[in-house]
Structures are given as C-alpha cells and as structure tokens.
Chains A and B, each alone.
Chain A
Amino acid sequence: MTNSSITDTNFSTAAVRPRPISWSWLGVVPFLLFTLMFLLLPAANLIIGAFQDAAGNFTLQNIANLSQPTILRAYQMSIGISAASAFLGAVIGFALALAAVLGRLPRWVRPSLMTFSGVASQFAGVPLAFAFLATLGRTGLVTALLFNIFGINIYRYGFNLLSFSGLTLTYLYFQIPLMVLILTPALDGLKREWREASAILGASTWQYWRMIALPILWPSLLGAFMLLFANSFGAIATAYALTGSSLNIITILLYAQIRGDVLHDPNLGYALALGMILITGISNGIYIWLSSRTGRWIR
C-alpha cells in the first residue's frame, strides 16, 4: 500500500509537473560578463595581437623576434628572480610557519606573526622600494652600521640593491609573509594523532615528515610556491622604483615598451605579454598536474 502510493507520487511529479525554469543563473551573469570583458578578452586580445603584424595579418614574426638577446635576458632574469624569491620565500616562510604552529612558543607569538604577515605581505610596490633603499641603499642605515661597526662596505663586496640579489632580497619582504599566511592553515590541518600514530608504529620524526606530513602538505607547498612565483614574476612597481628602467627584467621592459614603444614594434609588445602569460600559465599547469598526481587521496 504505502509503497505503491510513494511510487505514484514520484511518478506524477516526474511526468506531469514540469520542472520550473530556474532563473538563478542570472545571478552570475554580471560576474561572468565582467570577467569576460575585463579579464579574458583583454588577455585574448593580446594573444591574438602577438600573432598579427601591423596590418593585422597572421604572422609568427613577433614570436621569432622574442629571441633578441635583450628580451631573452629579461625573461631569464625575471624567471631567475621569481624562482629565487619564491624558493627562498617558500623555504623560510615554511620554517617560520612551522615554528609558529608546532614550535611550542608562547601564545602571543603566533597571532603577532600572523598580523604582521598580513601587513607585510601587502606592503609591496613603491613604498617597499623606499624602505629597502633607506636600509640597504648606499646611504642606508644597515649599510652605514655595517661599515661603521664592522668596517664592512657591502657595496665593495659586490652587493648592489639594484641587482638580482638585491631585488630578490627585497621581494622576500612580502614573499615570506605570504608563505606564512598560506601555510599556517595547512600546518594546522596536520592532526596530532597522525604524528602519534606514526610514532607508536615505530616511525622516527624524520620518517613521519617524509612519509606522512610532507606528502600531505605537498599540494599546499607546491601551490604556494607557484603563487609566490607568479606574484614576483608580475611585480614591477618595486623594481621600477628601486632601479628606474636600468634593471632588465621582463615587466620593466614591457612597461617601457607600453609607455614609449622602446622596441619600435607594438606587436612585439603583445608577444612579450604572451610570453608572460605562457610562463605563469605553464607553471600553474605544472602545479595542477603535479598536485593531481600526488593528491589522489584528496576528496
């Protein structure tokens, strides 16, 4: 009795009453339209431009022109600085997050570190350049202190704030805190029981990290590294304020090209931009591929 009546109602709702048309998709239309107009199309526009000559015909010449030594060196330098600052930022930030979460430090340490990381990770751009000039520039406080107290002139030893190492050091000021912010929740996700279960099963601390904690953290670590890489790869304000246009990195080159057409070929500019999209795109593709391979166990 009951059974058949249930089937009956199911049947009638399925067959007789049509599902009401849902208008809820309208809610996302403005958002999709916005991202299309101000994110996707502008990028697509550049990509298309990279394959056109001045008259609008298809060409691969722009891509070929990227092989100029100046441009190649700029890409190289950008990738180098981004990789170095992302790697160092990831390692140091990971260590700091580790100390804050698992280091059994007094209770005030962690919230202080988090608040400070929140501020420092957003303290980028032009003011950051000013701060480092005042610190490690030729007349900076630390430069002067090192000279007056230890008699060390870091500039004589080949240090230059307006260089690869100088810019990397400066970028670390926001890279490390960014890593701390991203990784702290991931470290919180490591359950105490995992560590204890591994210990009671005979594993050493090192085995716990190698076989359990690091594999679990791996996707987060990798994702954070990629974010840090993209973060410094696309950065320009700090470098520009530090060095003017004297440092040959890709963003500064592109900036100069946009402002003054220094390459005397607007379409080559599009190719430069395409190169940048490709590099961040490929690095993120690698990340997605790696994390899908290593993270099969994630829901």
Chain B
Amino acid sequence: MKQSRIAPWIGVIFGAIYFLVPLIATFEFSLRMERGRYSFEAYRIVLGDPNFQASFGYSAFIAVCTIIVGVALVVPTAYVVQLKLPKLRPVIEFLTLLPLVIPAIVIVFGYLRMYNSSSWLPLTGSARGTDVLLTFSYVTLALPYMYRSVDTGLRAIDVRTLTEAAQSLGSSWPRILLTVILPNVRVAVLSGSFLTFAIVIGEFTMASLLNRPAFGPYLQLIGANRAYEPAALAIIAFAITWACMGLINLFGAMGQQTQRR
C-alpha cells in the first residue's frame, strides 16, 4: 500500500514552525534590551534581582514539599488499590481526575472560604498555615499526573510477588513499602516528581490568590511593569520545563535499561 509522505511532512513542519517561532521570537526579543545591539542584559538584570531569587527559591521549596506530600499520599494508595482493593480503583481514579475537571481557581476559592482566619481550621490566618495550604493545593493540582505515573509504574512490576517475597522474609508493611516497592517504582515516582515540579514552579492562580510570594505572581508583576525582562523570564521558564521533561526522559530510559538486564 503506497502512501504519500507529503501530507505528514507538511503537518510536522507546520507543527515545528508553530512551536519554534514563538520561542525564537521570545529569545530574539529578550536580547533587544540595549538599543542597537543584542545583549544578555535582560538576563543579567533578571537573575540579579533579589526578588527573582527569593520568589524562585520559595516556589522551589514549595515544589519540593508538594512532591514529598504527593508521593507519601499517592504511593501507599496506589499500592493498596493494586494489591488489596481493586474494587476501589474506579473511585480512586475518579478522585485523581477531579482536579482536571474542577478549575484550580474554584478549588482555591473553596479554600479561602473554608480555611479562612475565622473558620474551624484557620490555615490562612498565618503565613506558615498558608504555605501548608498552598502546598496542599499544589498536591491536588499535581494529583492526576502523580497518580497516573505511579500507577503505571506499579502495574509494570509484579507487586504481589514482591510483597509476598518480602512478607515471607518477615518484613512489616511500612518496611515493604519503603524498601521494596518504592525503589521498584523509583522511575515512575521521579517522572511524577519532575512533572509536578514543572507544573508548580510557575503556578500563578493559587499562589496569587493565597497571597504568597511565589515565582508565578513575580512573573506576572514583571510582565505588567517591564518590557524585555519578561521575555528573558519566559526563556528561563521554558528552559526549566525542558530540563524537567529531559530528566523524565533520561530516568525513563535508565529505567528501561535496568529492566532489560
């Protein structure tokens, strides 16, 4: 069956143009800060800005917290569902997909109503409390991706045999999870973690509405007040996303190699 290759090529080239042109344009724009010549002045200013460092550091910290809480929540759940409670699978999967259906802004609006300073659990009453709430909001945001990733990882290994082998050696449940299951889904957990990082690092809505000094609101502020720095920031943000995805691919490839042994 012969098939023309022209149409697929046109499609792929169109796609490449659509996705590369904005990047090129942004990069070109970010170099235009000094009149008459290209320079990295915008990058120098942005990277030297203490607010940039502070907000990026804050968001990175919250991202790491999000990953820890997310993994601690998702791995045992996915494991128990896989091994003991397959009947719960539809319910759990439905819950993990909900954040894709309920917009983030609605969720955070609900937090503001439920956990305000005069409520039974006044999380927004203090900065620490709000940090916790922001972390939790990011956990929900990343839930679909984290769960999907870990669940796929668990399906790829023989959970039952591993568990029974560990049990026959006298391991306790927490030990099995920590020393047997977790290392075996390491790649899946790492993929989920990097994806979570990519989602969380520049998140705007929740951080802004919870009024925390995160990277997303900082980006927005710069965008509203400066001309060339936003372009430099966009390139930096793209590089971070790319790095996260690159690491996922890298670990994925490594995981395949270890499985192939």
Contacts and interface: CB of A to CB of B under 8 A. Distances in A.
Do A and B share a direct contact in the complex (Cβ within 8 angstroms)? yes
B234 A103 contact: no
Interface in B233-261: 233-234, 237-238, 241-242, 244-246, 248-249
A134 B32 CA distance: 11
Contacts, number: 249
B205 A236 contact: yes
A295 interface: no
Contact of A127 (B79, B84, B112, B202): B202
Given A24-B84, A125-B203, A38 B109 contact: no
Interface size range of chain A in the complex:
35 or more
Given A113-B12, A119-B245, A142 B140 contact: no
Given A34-B139, A134-B29, A39 B12 contact: no
Interface string B94-132: 010011111111110111111000000000000000000
A86 interface: no
Contact of B245 (A35, A122, A130, A254): A122
Contacts of A129: 223
A166 interface: no
Interface string A57-68: 000000000000
A197 interface: no
Interface of B is mostly: helix
A123 B238 contact: yes
Contacts of A116: 19
A141 B216 contact: no
Interface residues of B, number: 81
A96 B204 contact: no
B175 to A, nearest CB: 14
A119 B3 contact: no
A134 B30 contact: yes
B101 A241 contact: no
B107 A42 contact: yes
13 contacts: A24-B84, A24-B85, A105-B8, A120-B19, A122-B199, A122-B241, A134-B230, A135-B26, A176-B18, A227-B100, A273-B105, A276-B103, A276-B106
